[in-house]
Amino acid sequence: MRSVTFTLKERAVLIPVELVLFWKNLIYMLLTVFLLSALALLMQDKTVAAATAVFYCTVTLLGITCGAVLFPLLLPFLPFTQFWINGALIGGVISALNLLIHPGLSPLTLSAGFLWCTTLSSFMAMNFTGSTPYTSLSGVEKEVKTALPFLIGGTVFTVFSALLGLFLSR
């Protein structure tokens, strides 16, 4: 394994593969955003509902970009050994910057978007554990067992916060 290379070019080749394999999940996520937006139209005025829809679409696409594009490109420079933590780090930083461009939304909506971007980026980064010379099969199994409760909890809390944000902002 010491003689195996994993250059920037070799890591970049994995990006389109991840994106193509993820397109069905992306459709489900965007349908969920569409349903949340339709619910927001019933609960809020049109401008807030539109801003909420744009925000959730943005954080979804940012989360995918962070985990599937930025993570493999930055892999040698990231501080942690577990990929899901590095993915969460990248997603959290980019999501925090994204919050600065959406100041008019409710705090619950912003926190749901932040957590969603971070969780999604973490999940996408964890997909690379089997595609690199950095991890072994036992390392992949250990990482998945460790990360799964956090990813499921982050997703559940995101949906709960998003729905609560719709109802409390009336």
pLDDT computed for residue 162 by the predictor: 85
pLDDT computed for residue 4 by the predictor: 60
| DSSP string for residues in the chain | -TT----HHHHHTHHHHHHHHTHHHHHHHHHHHHHHHHHHHHHS-HHHHHHHHHHHHHHHHHHHHIIIIIHHHHGGG-S-SSHHHHHHHHHHHHHHHHHTT-TTS-HHHHHHHHHHHHHHHHHHHHGGGGSSTT--HHHHHHHHHHHHHHHHHHHHHHHHHHHHHHHHT-
Q: What residue type is 145 in one-letter code?
A: K
Q: What residue type is 160 in one-letter code?
A: F
Give pTM, 2 decimals: 0.83
pLDDT computed for residue 116 by the predictor: 93
- Tokens coding 161: 């916060």
Three-state secondary structure readout of 44-84: CCHHHHHHHHHHHHHHHHHHHHHHHHHHHHHHHHCCCCCHH
Per-residue tens of pLDDT for the chain, all 170 residues: 556 666 777 777 777 777 777 788 888 877 887 787 777 777 767 777 788 888 888 999 999 999 989 998 898 898 888 889 999 999 999 999 998 888 778 888 899 999 999 999 999 898 877 666 566 777 788 888 999 999 999 999 998 988 887 777 65
pLDDT computed for residue 17 by the predictor: 77
**Domain range annotation of the chain:** 8-168
pLDDT computed for residue 65 by the predictor: 92
Alpha-carbon span 1 to 133, nearest angstrom: 7
pLDDT computed for residue 51 by the predictor: 83
For 69-109, the pLDDT digits (tens) are 999 889 889 888 888 999 999 999 999 999 888 877 888 88
pLDDT computed for residue 131 by the predictor: 63
